[in-house]
Structure 1
Amino acid sequence: MNASYAECKSLPQERSILDIINCEEWASDHFITVYTQGRPPVRMTLGELQGTVRRVASWLMDRGLKSGDRIGILAHNSLEWILLDLACIRQGIVTAGFEPEAFASRVDLTDTYDLQLLVCDRLCAAAVDAGERFVPLQSIPTIGTVEDLAIPLPPPYRFHLDECSTIKFTSGSTGKAKGLGATVGSIDQSIRGVQALFHHGPKDKLFVFLPLSLLQQRYWIYSAIAFGHDIVVTAPSLAFDVLHREAPTVVMGVPAFFTTLKERIEHAVLGAGTQAADLRAVARTILGPNVRYLWTGSAPVHPDVLTFFFDMCGIPLFEGYGMNEICIATKNHPGAYRIGSVGQPLDGVKVMVDSAGIVRVKRRHPVNTRYLYAPQGASEQVFADDGTVVTGDLGYIDPDGFLYITGRVDDVVVLENGRNIYVREIEERIARIAGVAQAIVFGFGRPTLGALVHPLPGAQIDILRLKLQAAASECDAQFGAIVMIDHPFTADNGLLTSQGKPRRTAILAAYTAVIEAAYGG
């Protein structure tokens, strides 16, 4: 590793990172920059941020909120989101981050999740239902210092490792979202584990654009404060523009983002009429000259994307593995990586594969031992009595401890004749077909498999159908129904999660009529 990046700050082990954030003065020589749609960017030192956080903490006290109370945040990324989250940490107030596209239409948030306050960035059904407990995000004070406090602040809250500072929600890709309290110990273990591998330090600038309702995205803000580096936060719609302007050293993104980035780089090379040998220069032009690595996870990355960045661009793209119930479990990193694997376990994480091939994970500090909000019996299916989490993912571990994820238990479709078909392999083959933008394979209880496909503009549909059947045949299967759709799956239409995963239940429900027609129903 470059020595200039190894000069990172060490933290005392006897205090959690959240306590360190609460009790220490923040750096005046590192910056947070926030880009929000329709507003000018805001750049301030971390020290200035801390002063405003204290002002927001006083604002919370003025509203009668105290440690242990709960606040819901239903909003897109913004400075106010960050201030509110950090102020709640200071006061020991529990946050519940709601993804706007998934929760804005819910009319039961405040009562279901016992919220004393629901902060929204727009008027929506959830806000209307909250009544007097609704507060517009715009009312959060974004300027001010400790001298402006409405109410004198008490000493910062001190956390126990086993208490929960926030509630996070599953993506709901297979049904209604489940709520899970995240322990302070799990947050501390994850951030320290990542820091031990990547050594973020004073020369780093981390780039975050995924929703702050995803707890892991807030980790990098906490990391900036605790370890002393810069941080840039924006929204998915602004990501590429801000990326070029800010020239970060680290880019955090889901696989779909890096697939799009790969296409942009390739298009730029072709458009400029340059040779493939110049691809590295083009990549640096788009990403900026300072990037030292790219981070991804949450969904499988196609090997072609990994090798493109590693070998052709000369920029490592490190894949990892985790889920809400286990947080970051394994990670490739500069000291140990294998393309195709999701890395080795972080410190304090034990990964096992049981006799059925299912990955199980046990942490020194568990995220939790049960869901806070979930259907009856859901916790028992995931959280074992010994603290192990049954992930539902299939995989294996090589002799050097690298984990490989091969699929999910629910990637298996059972046809009406009882035959089990592993559809992920078919979907991966379909994704490589020219002319396919998006596709999912289904068929539970059906006589044959079906495919729902969004073709790229100009695709020849007859040829595409033949290629789809060929992909199924290569996996000893066949399609009895192939449905071409006009509109893509997106987060805005509720058919993708914020991490780019298809919401299968929602997709099949949205296209029930055409699917039935394709099967001859």
Structure 2
Amino acid sequence: MREFSLPALYEVPADGNLTDIVRRNAAQHPDVAVIGRKIGGTWQDVTSVQFLAEVRAAAKGLIAAGVQAGDRVGLMSRTRYEWTLLDFAIWSAGAITVPVYETSSAEQIQWILGDSGAVAILVESDAHAAAVASVRDSLPELRHVWQIDAGGVEELNRSGAELPDSAVDERSAIAKADDPATIVYTSGTTGRPKGCVLTHRSFFAECGNVVERLKPLFRTGECSVLLFLPVAHVFGRLVEVASLMAPIKLGHAPDIKHLTDELAAFRPTLILGVPRVFEKVYNSARAKAQADGKGKIFDKAADTAIEYSRALDTPKGPSLALKLKYKTFDKLVYSKLRAVLGGRGEYAISGGAPLGERLGHFFRGIGFTVLEGYGLTESCAATAFNPWDRQKIGTVGQPLPGSVVRIADDGEVLLHGEHLFTGYWNNEGATEEALADGWFHTGDIGTLDEDGYLRITGRKKEIIVTAGGKNVAPAVIEDRIRAHALVAECMVVGDGRPFVGALVTIDEEFLGKWAEDHGKPAGASVASLQGDADLLAAIQSAVDDGNAAVSKAESVRKFRILGAQFTEDSGHLTPSLKLKRNVVAKDYAEEIEAIYRG
């Protein structure tokens, strides 16, 4: 058993709650732009004073509608300004926010609103309103539905216009640090989602210590962050609260299809994303270079960036020859890549899944350092992250200041700290199992080095045991295979089987260019190319790269290319893009059998 901790850098207010942040900003930074809001295609600043006024107006409407202190209020929307506005308005009315993913099905909406006992919900679109309406008869406690796109915020403002500010101030003061701030339903790879109760203390401990430890990334009046993650996810919520706590300017981007355009317009100094975003940036840049006949130059530049980054971790650092080569590629390639990311940023924070060492070195090498972290809904997002001044690529960093990470005898990662959830809503059995002996049992397998840097090597329940008795952690090899531009998803199989196999889906965004370069028919689909020798060879190269990271007994011996993607709509991915392994295994049982047939 091994454990590591760092002293807290932030003291949680004894009796405060998250609404204090908005009032403090208005008092101490009245003219500072805390939010950038896009109106009519143009980014406009919202100052601390303006934001407080808008929060109060919406909170008055909730109070006038009969929302009481401690009531649960649903919030279902894409990532946009109103999400943050209404989140703080719900808290200011003394209520508890219950996020609902905007992609949720009617059945999921029914479960979350019913289990939490929500008395109201704020939705974004006609489709959301229709989904709620379809299950409303089974939700007797749900009294109000407001729709943002149908003037719901304006309706709240009108209905509460006669209430004095003091009515909101009184409500805002009711919740204390240990009272629930939100119930976040885990997307869940198996079974029904469980509602994680996160208190105001959880967010203060989490966001306060993140901001303090990454202080150069959160300079008031200088720094900004563009939030494009779902705010219904706890990682997006960390971005929201930490930005306002600092405060730095926060922008919202609802559609990542146009992310590069939004980055160019907003020009953030800090980006927070998941590995797939950074993989897309790399793969898109490489594909564009190849299309322009500059593929070899890009590959040499990428190799140089990785070599340069690795040299930074050596006592002597980069050699003079490497520095000169680096300088040349900085003008030709790296500066253009930084421009794609907005042109002002030097740092990003990545979570949700392993980034991969090669990609980590590539981005640091081009002058855009991606600090990898690790966390869960139950830990209020990041429970470990790489410090800006002492990064160890390949790890998820050191524990959140003020918390403890312990590795149990069986390798499971255990957590302790003020940032942790207090339990699962209406589920004492699951709470007792997860919080045994005062420690949260994550279900993840990991190691701690001598400096307290954590590596996650797999999931305890996802460990595959082959027929030969070899334990295989799927994450290591899956992440390496998934790094290939043509691979969308990869799922390793082999439990109780004679060897390890894999199911692979193809990234359709890159298939068209690959098909053109390899003389395939125009508009060729994945299904039509499943048995194509060139495609099989390309995926085999990805598998070979993945196999290089593991022992022979853990390596993938055979794979199958699937004709369809794993998506949230297909039921194979959670809203946070994690594989639902049991669903994939069931739906593709015949494909798995084909791997082992004969």
1:7 alignment counterpart: none
Determine if contact 2:11/2:205 at 8 Å carries over to the other structure. Answer: no
Which residues of 2 match residues 113-512 of structure 1 at below 5 A? 113-121=116-124, 122-131=128-137, 133-138=144-149, 139-141=151-153, 149-153=161-165, 154=167, 155-156=169-170, 157-158=172-173, 159-199=175-215, 200-201=218-219, 202-235=221-254, 236-270=256-290, 271=292, 273=294, 276=301, 277=329, 278-311=332-365, 313-327=366-380, 328-363=382-417, 365-374=418-427, 377-385=429-437, 387-415=438-466, 419-431=470-482, 435-446=486-497, 448-455=499-506, 457=511, 458=515, 460-463=534-537, 475-476=552-553, 482-512=559-589
Aligned counterparts of 1:111 and 1:462: Cα–Cα separation in 2: 47
Counterpart AA for 2:147:
P
Tell me if structure 2 keeps the 8 A contact 1:252–1:294: yes
Sort the Cα spacing of 1:142 and 1:301 in 2 relative to 1 into closer, same or farther, 3 A: farther
Counterparts of 1:94 and 1:315 in 2: how far apart (Å)?
37
Q: How many angstroms does 1:44 deviate by?
A: 2.7
Matched residues in 2 for 1:82 and 1:412: separation? 38
* Pair 1:95-2:97 in alignment: yes
CA-atom RMSD in angstroms: 3.2
Quote the residue 1:47 is aligned against.
Answer: 49
Unmatched runs of 5 consecutive residues or more in structure 1: 1-9
Against the structure 1 CA distance between its residues 405 and 25, is the aligned structure 2 distance closer, same or farther, given a 3 Å change threshold? closer
CA 440–24 in structure 1, closer or farther in 2 if over 3 Å, else same:
same
Q: Under a length normalisation based on structure 1, what TM-score does the superposition of the two structures give? A: 0.87
CA distance in 2, matches of 1:329, 1:442: 29
Q: Does 1:70 align with 2:50?
A: no
Q: Please say if residues 206 and 230 of structure 1, whose CA atoms lie closer than 8 Å, have aligned partners that are also in contact.
A: yes
Amino acid at match of 1:225: L
The alignment partner of 1:213 has SS state of coil
Q: Is the 8 A contact 1:120 1:127 kept in 2?
A: no
Task: Tell me how far apart the structure 2 counterparts of residues 248 and 429 of structure 1 sit (CA, whole Å).
Answer: 29
TM-score with structure 2 length normalisation?
Answer: 0.76
**TM-superposition CA deviations, 1:233-278 (whole Å, max 9, x none):** 1123332221111110000101111111122333455538476302
Give the Å deviation of 1:354.
Answer: 1.6
The CA distance in 2 between the partners of 1:99 and 1:165, in whole Å, is 18
Instruction: Decide whether the 8 Å contact of 1:361 with 1:390 is kept in 2.
Output: yes
Specify whether residues 143 and 286 from structure 1 end up closer, same or farther in structure 2 by C-alpha distance, changes over 3 A only. Answer: farther
Give the letter aligned to residue 379 of structure 1.
Answer: T
Q: Distance in 2 between matches of 1:187 and 1:160?
A: 12
How many matched pairs? 507
The 8 Å contact of residues 342 and 403 in structure 1, kept in 2 or not, is answered as: yes
Residue identity in the other structure for 1:291 = G
Task: After TM superposition, give the deviation of residue 32 of structure 1 in Å.
Answer: 1.5
- The worse-fitting range, judged by mean Cα deviation, of 443-452 and 319-328 is 443-452
Other structure's SS at 1:351 match = strand
Counterpart amino acid of 2:420? V
Cα separation, 2, equivalents of 1:141 and 1:431: 42
Q: For structure 2, which runs of at least 5 residues remain unmatched after alignment?
A: 1-9, 138-142, 302-328, 516-531
Distance 1:161 1:198, change over 3 A: same
Give the percent of matched residue pairs that are identical in Structure 1 and Structure 2: 26
Deviation (angstroms), 1:433 = 5.7
How far apart are residue 60 of structure 1 and its match?
0.5
Moved more, 488-497 or 258-267: 488-497
Contact preservation (8 Å) 2:79, 2:227? no
More off after superposition, 166-175 vs 416-425? 416-425
* Offset of residue 193 of structure 1: 0.6
User: What per-residue deviation string (whole Å, max 9, x for no partner) do you get for residues 272-324 of structure 1?
Assistant: 8476302221122212231131111121111111001111x111110111111
Alpha-carbon separation, structure 1, partners of 2:390 and 2:336: 27
In structure 2, what is the Cα distance between the partners aligned to 1:410 and 1:185? 30
Aligned-pair CA distance for 1:373: 4.6
Whether the 8 Å contact between 2:356 and 2:480 is mirrored in structure 1 is no
Q: In 2, distance between residues paired with 1:109 and 1:411?
A: 26
2:403 is matched by which residue type in structure 1? Answer: V
CA–CA separation in structure 1 for the residues paired with 2:585 and 2:104: 17
Query: CA separation in 1, counterparts of 2:377 and 2:367?
Result: 31
Which deviates the most, 78-87 or 419-428? 419-428
Q: Could you say if the C-alpha distance between residues 51 and 11 of structure 1 is closer, same or farther in structure 2, counting changes exceeding 3 Å?
A: farther
Checking the alignment, whether the CA contact within 8 Å between 1:413 and 1:421 is kept in structure 2 is: yes
SS at match of 2:560: strand
